[in-house]
Amino acid sequence: MTRTSRAVTRRRTISAAGSALAGFAVTAALFALWHGRLPDDVATHVGDGGHADGYTSRGDFLPIAAALQLGLGALFTGLTWLNRANPTGARLIAASGTGLAACLTYVDAMLLYVNRGVADAHAVDVSPWHIAAAVTFLPAGFALGWELAGPPPEDLPGAGEVPPAEAGYLRARKSEVLVWTRRVTSPVLAATGGVLLAVGVVVALLVGAAEGLALLLTGPLLLLFAAVRVTVDAEGVQVRYGALPRPRTRVPLARIERAGTCDVRAFKEFGGWGYRVKAKATGVVLRSGEALELSLAGGTRFVVTVPDARTAASVVNTLAARSRSAAAGPSRPAGGTGAV
């Protein structure tokens, strides 16, 4: 990682963490300011017509707010750091964290505001304008976070490069162990997961846990599977989804006839993002652009969008040639650019 990319990564993680800390600081300051004017039970949930129907003790309000704001801030900070190798993905995740922090801060401030000076929290009513404003703070915070996270560095490996259509072989001794691995994040899935999680939190807080449950489950699931790690080794090509050991997709070297690169348009060619299946082709499509393309036995192909695809294809071709050579005796691959 270059000095520039390290600086940008640091800026993005600070942005994600700092927005959560700043948001909680605002909540804590307002809680301290209005503490003496809050009822013993604070209205924290809104039912039909904006009338409060859920309550939390005054002493529990701040710890719950801290757990929610700082916990989600830590989650988005960690995701930003884990996706530091993908400039756009990391920026989107950091911006989503800032948007969520802004939204949660407004919700907590609004709840404290409507409860102050009320003798009985059962009498609290929340205007629909407050709920509309809470939703508005999400995209506004996202826009602010997008600017704070800064543009992607131009010197990251693979940034702005268009790979040649064909990949050859690596100059490597047969005794050398060849392994290539890269992590790639889907900006679309990461942003969608972050937005769904944020909206789910708002819905759960203001409307009900049951109503926000689907969003609260779907958002983290998309965030979890928004990144994959692609590895090429002597066993073949493996794609691992998220941070989990399973599920994973493996294409053994014996099935690979040739590896190359291609330029993928996610929606136009595969109809969307994620694990995609179409006639004569399957793919792990996390974004549009550079991709590793494997021509498989039987006339099918497997595509995975990943930076530095040309190097990955060269490693695949070299390892596949070694495997065929070991099975059929010493041979030199036709058209190769070096020893394998």
- Domain of 236, CATH number, reads 2.30.29
Q: Please tell me which of 31-35, 122-126, 146-150, 275-279 the model is most confident about, judged by mean pLDDT.
A: 31-35
Are residues 318 and 307 part of one domain?
A: yes
C-alpha to C-alpha distance for 291 and 308, rounded to whole angstroms: 8
Q: How many domains does the chain have?
A: 2
Output 163 or 26, whichever has higher pLDDT: 26
The answer to whether position 215 is within a domain reads yes
Mean pLDDT of 138-160: 67
How sure is the predictor about 172, in pLDDT bands with cuts at 50, 70 and 90?
Answer: low
- What's the confidence (pLDDT) of residue 122? 79
Mean pLDDT of 119-140: 79
Are residues 199 and 98 part of one domain?
A: yes
Are residues 195 and 141 part of one domain?
A: yes
**Whether residue 317 has pLDDT greater than 90:** no
Domain enclosing residue 69, as ranges: 3-160+187-224
How sure is the predictor about 193, in pLDDT bands with cuts at 50, 70 and 90?
Answer: confident
- Residue written as tokens 């003790």? 57
- What's the confidence (pLDDT) of residue 24? 92
C-alpha to C-alpha distance for 27 and 115, rounded to whole angstroms: 14
Are residues 151 and 249 part of one domain?
A: no
- What's the confidence (pLDDT) of residue 258? 87
Are residues 127 and 56 part of one domain?
A: yes
The answer to whether position 335 is within a domain reads no
Report yes or no on whether pTM surpasses 0.85: no
Residue-wise pLDDT tens digits, 216-244? 777 777 777 777 888 888 888 998 887 66
**Whether residue 335 has pLDDT greater than 50:** no
